[in-house]
């Protein structure tokens, strides 16, 4: 199978996970590790950038479900950005846009975090 890789970049208090390649049942543990590490470090504001992701399977989608509850309990969120059409369709078919905020660009997602923070402090 094609390769899959991730990289994590911290932007302020927001962590951005960049995905690339094929995310399926076999490669999902890599992403799971990223989430586990971020949660261990109390990083709950997470943006996932799908720009270089070619394919996602149902098991790949499951990874986001596994951590969302814990992250939201800690006043954080997972926001998804930069999906290509094919990947978006898979998310859309399953109703994920109803469960997650999906943005066109990474900046929009980061701004959204900042905005809600702003609201929170007011």
Partner 1 sequence: MKSSALNISENIQFRLFLLFAVGLLVYKLFISVPGTLVYMLVSDLLILLTIAFLFLSLISFFEKRKASPFSLIMNIGILNAFIFFLITFSNSFMSLLFDNVNERINNPSLTSVLVTLVYLLLIVGFVTYVLVTLRHLFFLRQSKSQQVYFITMIIFFILASLTAPYLSDTKFAFICDTFLIVSVLLMVINSLRISWIAFIVKKEKIALLILSIVIAILFIVNLNNTGEETLHSQMLTSFAPSVNEFASIVMLYGAIYFSVLFFTTLFHIPTAAAFDRKAEEVSSLQYFSKLITQVLDFKELAETVTDITTRIGSADASWIIWKDDEFVPIANKNIGFIDSEKISKFILKKIKWDDINDSTFIRLADLENKQELSQPYKVAAISPLRSYGDVKGLLIAVRIGEQKFSEEDKSAIATFSDYASVSIENSQLLEESIEKERLEKELDVAREIQRKILPEKNPEFDQLDISSVFIPAFEVGGDYYDFFKLSDSKLGFVIADVSGKGISAAFIMAEVKGIFESLAKTYLSPKEILIRANDILKHTLDSKTFVSAAYGIIDMEKNQMKMARAGHCPVLLLRGETAQPVKPSGIGLGLSNEKQFEENLDESTLILEENDTIVLYTDGITEAKNEDLEDFGDKYFTEILLENRKKSAEELSKKVIKEVSMFSHNHMQYDDITLVILKWKQKIKIDGEKEWQSSAPQL
Contact positions vs partner 1 (CB under 8 A)? 2, 25, 57-59, 61-63, 65-66, 68-69, 86, 93-96, 98-99
CB of residue 55 to partner 1, shortest distance in Å: 8
Nearer to partner 1, 58 or 114 (CB): 58
Q: How many C-beta neighbours within 10 Å does residue 30 have?
A: 15
**Helix, strand, coil percentages for the chain (3-state, nearest 5):** 50, 30, 20
Nearer to partner 1, 68 or 108 (CB): 68
Grouping H, G, I as helix, E, B as strand and the rest as coil, residue 17 is: strand
Nearer to partner 1, 33 or 114 (CB): 33
CB of residue 12 to partner 1, shortest distance in Å: 28
Structure tokens at 95: 């109703």
- Decide if 20 contacts 6 (C-beta within 8 A): yes
CB of residue 95 to partner 1, shortest distance in Å: 3
């Amino acid at each position: 199978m094609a390769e899959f890789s991730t990289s994590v970049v911290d932007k302020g208090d927001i962590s951005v996970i960049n995905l690339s390649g094929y995310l399926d049942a076999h490669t999902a543990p890599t992403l799971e590790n990223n989430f586990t590490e971020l949660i261990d470090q109390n990083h709950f504001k997470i943006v996932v950038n799908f720009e270089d992701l070619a394919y996602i399977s149902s098991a790949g989608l499951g990874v986001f479900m596994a951590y969302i509850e814990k992250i939201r309990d800690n006043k954080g969120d997972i926001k998804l950005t930069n999906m290509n059409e094919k990947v978006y369709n898979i998310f859309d078919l399953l109703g994920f846009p109803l469960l997650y905020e999906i943005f066109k660009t990474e900046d929009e997602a980061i701004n959204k975090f900042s905005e809600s923070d702003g609201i929170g402090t007011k």
